[in-house]
A and B are shown apart, each in its own frame.
Chain A
Amino acid sequence: MKITKEISIGDVAARSEELRGENMTLNMGPSHPATHGVLRLSLELDGDKVVKCDPVIGYLHRGDEKIAENMTYNQFVPYTDRLDYLAPLANNVAYAIAVEKLAGLKLPARCEAIRVLTCEMARISSHLLGIGVYAMDTGAWTVFMYTFNEREKLYTLFEELTGARFTTSYTRIGGVTRDIPDGWLAKVSSFCDGVERTIDEVDKLLTRNGIFLERTEGIATISKEMALAYGLTGPNLRASGVPFDLRKDKPYSGYEQYDFDVPVGAKGDCFDRYLVRMEELRQSVRIIRQVVKTMPGGAWYAEDAKKIFLPPKAKVMTKMEELIQNFMLVTEGPQIPAGEVYFEAENPKGALGFYVVSNGGGVPYRLRIRGPSFVSLSILPAIVPGNFLTDVASILGSLDFVMGECDR
C-alpha cells in the first residue's frame, strides 16, 4: 500500500529552519598540508559553508626585529634568508638596498645587474613553487613534479653563485659576497630555455584544465578597492586590476633599464592570481635574458665605501690599512649614518619593506620588517566566509604566502 502525504512548501521552509543545526568550529592547521606552514585557521562552519574565518598566526615567530637590534647590519643578512625562505636572494637584496639607501651609497652597475639577476631567479623559484603547490591543493599533483624539476636546476645555479642552495646570504651592505663564477651566465641562459618549456607545459596542464578552472574561477574575488584597502601588494594586488609594480613605478637597482610587462588581472579571483603569476614567470625570464646579454663589467661592490664593505681578502693579509679596515668592520659593523629609511622591494610575494632607524654606528636602533605574506593573510577574514570548506585550500594557495615572512 502506498502512503502519500501532501506537504506545502511553507511547511518545508519552516522545518528547514528547525533543522538548522549549530555552527561547527573547525581548526584548520597549524599543521595542515594546505596551510603551507604553521598557519591555523579557526573556521566556523554552517554545514559545508564557512561563516567566519579567524587566522591564528605567530607559530613561527622568532623575533627577527628584536634580534636585528642586537647585531651588526651584515650579521642580520642570514636572518633575511629565513623570511620568505622560497626566495632568499630577493630578501637579501631588499635588505641590503634599504640599508644602502640610508647610507646614501651608490653601487657599481655590475653589482646592480647581479642583484636584478638573482632577484628574478628568486622570483622564478618562488612562483614555480607557488604554482606547483597551488595546483596540488586543487588536486593536480603532476604540476608539482614539473615545477620542482626546474627549481632543482635553480638551486644548483644558486649553489654555484653563493655557495648555498637554500640559505644564500648573498648580499652584504655595499655589494655581494662574490662575483659571478666563470661560465655561470651561460648556464643561466640554458636554464632559461628549459624553464620556458616547463612554463608552457604547466600552462597546458592547468590553464584550460576543467577541474582547475572550477576550483579557482570566481572563487574569493578581491575587488580593486578591497585590495587597496587591505594593503595587498605584488601579484595579489595586480590580479585585482591595480597596475602597480615597484620595479616599474619605483625602480631600484637599475630595473628601469630592462624591458618587461606588468601583467594585471581582470576580476581578482583565484584564477586571475594564478594567471598573473604565470605571466610574471615569463617576464622574469625576459628580464634575465636581458641582464645576461648586457651584464656590465667592472667592480661588483662599492669599492670606495671603506667604512661599509670589507676589503678584498688578499689585501687584508698583506696590507696594513686593509687589515685595520677589515678588523674595524668585523668588530664594529658597517658604519651607517643616523637617520631613518623605508624601502620596499617588489619581491615574489609582494612588497617586502624594511624600515630602518639608525643612531649611527654598526647596529640599527630599530628594524621593522613589513612582510607581504602578513598583509596577504590579513584579508582572509574578509574573503573566506561564504565559500565552501574545500575552497579554503584553493584560496590559501592562490594568495601564495609563506609563514616565515608572516611571523618573522
Chain B
Amino acid sequence: MDAAALTSRFPATQDLAGKDMPTFRVAAGDLLAAVRFLRDEHGFDLLADLCGLELQGRPVRFGVVLHLLSTTHKEYVRLHVDAVGDRVPSVSSLHPGANWHEREAYDMFGIVFEGHPDPRRILMWDSYPYHPLRKDFPLAGIEVPFPAADVAEVTGQKVEPAPMMGGPFVSHGGKLSEGEPSALDQSWTEEKPKA
C-alpha cells in the first residue's frame, strides 16, 4: 500500500515508518473513517488483530494497535491509536471480529470502546475490579472476593494472589545481571511455610 494514500486523506495521520509493515498513527477521531477507507478502497478486508497497549513516551497512558490484513494484496498494515481519556472508537461496526478483541482490551487495560455493542469483560469475570495487564498491576495478582457470592458466603473463599514460591521467576526491572530473576515473594519456602 502507498503510505501517501492514507496520510493525504487523513492529514492528522503520522507515518511511523514501520520496519516489518507500513505503520501509521491515526487520530482517534479518524479511526473509523481510516479503517473503512482501508477496507473499501485498499482491500484490507480482514482485521488480523486488535490489542491494547500501555504507551511509553506519549502524553496519554493507553493506546490501541490494529493489524489489518489484505487477503487479496497479501499485505499487512498497522495502525496505532492513542486513547483520548481512555476512550477509543469501536471498529466492530466495520469488522464484527473486533468485538471480542475490544472486549479483551477493555478487560485487560480498561480502555473503553465507544459504540461497542457488548461492552463486557471477556476473560475475567464480570465483577472483577482490576485490569490486570496494566503495568502497575502486580504479576501475582491481588486478593479479590470470590466471584460466586453464595459460595463465598458458605465457604469464606477468596481469590488469592498466586503463590510465587518456585516461580515464575521474574525480573525486577533494570539490568537483569544486577538483580537476577527470582521469585517475587521469597519470605516463605517449603521448609518455612507461610505464616
* B48 part of interface (Cβ distance < 8 Å): yes
Separation in Å of the B71 CB from the closest CB of chain A?
A: 4
Please provide the chain B residues from 24 to 80 with a CB less than 8 Å away from any CB of chain A in the complex.
45-49, 51, 53-54, 56, 65, 67, 69, 71, 74, 76, 78
Please provide the chain B residues from 166 to 183 with a CB less than 8 Å away from any CB of chain A in the complex.
168-171, 175-177, 180-181
* A254 part of interface (Cβ distance < 8 Å): no
Question: Do B19 and A250 have beta carbons less than 8 Å apart?
Answer: no
Question: Do A249 and B74 have beta carbons less than 8 Å apart?
Answer: yes
Separation in Å of the B21 CB from the closest CB of chain A?
A: 7
Question: Do B74 and A71 have beta carbons less than 8 Å apart?
Answer: no
* B100 part of interface (Cβ distance < 8 Å): yes
Chain B contact residue count (CB 8 A cutoff): 47
Listed A/B pairs (19) with beta-carbon separation below 8 Å:
A57-B122, A57-B123, A58-B122, A63-B132, A66-B137, A71-B169, A72-B176, A231-B46, A231-B97, A233-B46, A244-B71, A331-B180, A341-B20, A343-B20, A344-B69, A351-B48, A361-B176, A366-B54, A374-B104
* B125 part of interface (Cβ distance < 8 Å): yes
Complex Cα spacing A359 to B135, Å: 15
Q: Which residues of B contact A (CB under 8 A)?
A: 18-21, 23, 45-49, 51, 53-54, 56, 65, 67, 69, 71, 74, 76, 78, 95-100, 104, 108, 121-125, 132-133, 137, 139, 168-171, 175-177, 180-181
Other than A363-B171, A365-B56, give 17 A-B pairs with Cβ distance below 8 A.
Answer: A58-B121, A65-B133, A66-B137, A67-B139, A72-B171, A228-B45, A228-B46, A230-B95, A340-B23, A342-B67, A342-B78, A353-B49, A355-B49, A368-B49, A374-B104, A379-B97, A382-B96
* A229 part of interface (Cβ distance < 8 Å): yes
Q: Provided the pairs A365-B56, A378-B100 are in contact, do residues A342 and B49 lie with their beta carbons within 8 angstroms?
A: yes
Separation in Å of the B4 CB from the closest CB of chain A?
A: 22
Complex Cα spacing A48 to B74, Å: 43
* A370 part of interface (Cβ distance < 8 Å): yes
Please provide the chain A residues from 8 to 26 with a CB less than 8 Å away from any CB of chain B in the complex.
none
* A311 part of interface (Cβ distance < 8 Å): no
* A75 part of interface (Cβ distance < 8 Å): yes
Question: Do A71 and B54 have beta carbons less than 8 Å apart?
Answer: no
Identify the 4 closest CB pairs spanning chains A and B, nearest first.
A231-B97, A58-B123, A70-B170, A378-B100
* A357 part of interface (Cβ distance < 8 Å): yes
Question: Do B123 and A357 have beta carbons less than 8 Å apart?
Answer: no
* A47 part of interface (Cβ distance < 8 Å): no
Question: Do B74 and A374 have beta carbons less than 8 Å apart?
Answer: no
Q: Provided the pairs A66-B139, A231-B95 are in contact, do residues A61 and B171 lie with their beta carbons within 8 angstroms?
A: no
Q: Provided the pairs A228-B45, A342-B76 are in contact, do residues A58 and B96 lie with their beta carbons within 8 angstroms?
A: no
Complex Cα spacing A212 to B188, Å: 56
A 211-242 to B, binary, CB cutoff 8 A, 1 in contact else 0 = 00000000000000000111111000000001
